[in-house]
Amino acid sequence: MLDLDIAGIVEAGVFFLFATITIGGALGLILAQRVAHSMLSLIFCFMAVSGIFILLGAEFLAAIQILVYLASVGLVVLFGIMLTRRQILEEDFE
């Protein structure tokens, strides 16, 4: 008889789901045409990495990943969106 470890299979499936979201988010970050879409892909990537940390049993690293990267890097990207938008508006008036 085959000894199937259901918990291990589910954990591997969730890991591959998070890994796929991470890779998709990274590709979306690179290939996005707009800065806002790029930021959304980056957020998906960071959240999936934090999910992988939770699967590894490193809840503290997952919390730091969410707090530091999503808060600080997301804020910097939002400033980039605002500055890019201002330059686009100024070019429209010239």
CB 36 within 8 A of CB 52: no
Tens of pLDDT, residue by residue, the chain (94 residues): 455 688 888 888 999 999 999 999 999 989 988 877 888 888 889 899 999 999 999 999 899 988 888 777 778 777 777 777 655 555 555 5
Return the residue matching tokens 């959304």: 40
Between CA 22 and CA 49, with CA 25 as vertex, the angle to 5 degrees is 30
Domain segments of the chain: what residues? 6-93
Of 41, 21, 43, 22, whose CA–CA distance to 31 is shortest? 41
What are the φ and ψ backbone dihedral angles of 33, each rounded to 5 degrees? -85, -30
pTM equals 0.72
CATH number of this structure's domain 6-93? 1.20.120.1200
The end-to-end CA distance of the chain, in Å, is 76
